[in-house]
Amino acid sequence: MWILRPLTPSEEKSVKDHFRHFDRVAHVIADGKLFAFNDEQLTEVAMAGRFFGFSEGDYNSSVVATIVGIGRRFHPSLNRSQIIALCAATLKITVERVEHSLEFTANYMAMHDGTEVRDNHPYPPDDP
């Protein structure tokens, strides 16, 4: 989580302004239970957007990695494909765009750090 202190009223307004970029009714239903991101979780994503750039439909890969990281908290109730679908719907982008962003992050960090791509992947495709 990016918040290290309470937000000022100005910062709080800025974060809430970013909520317009999200489909706040996006959800996935699994085993009869509805899964969606709550305001606290979306605040984490909005904070990543404040630091790394935020443009509806053209998110910085760090924003996508942040929402996917939060989405992984729904595992094991949701599987990987359901989590990725929920993230894509919430960000109003395609599943393919989410996957591309995750691959970019993994490859960039591996090149930057001199490590293996899989070790840097926010949610490797072969994870459940």
User: What is the pLDDT, as a whole number, of residue 60?
Assistant: 82
> How many domains, in total, are found in the chain?
1
User: Domain range spanning residue 79?
Assistant: 11-94
Region 69-77 average pLDDT: 96
Residue 73 in this model has a pLDDT that exceeds 90 = yes
Answer yes or no: is pLDDT of 2 > 50.
no
C-alpha span between 26 and 84 (Å, rounded): 12
Is 49 part of any domain?
Answer: yes
User: Does 105 fall in a domain?
Assistant: no
Q: Is residue 123 part of a domain?
A: no
Distance CA 79, CA 72 (A): 9
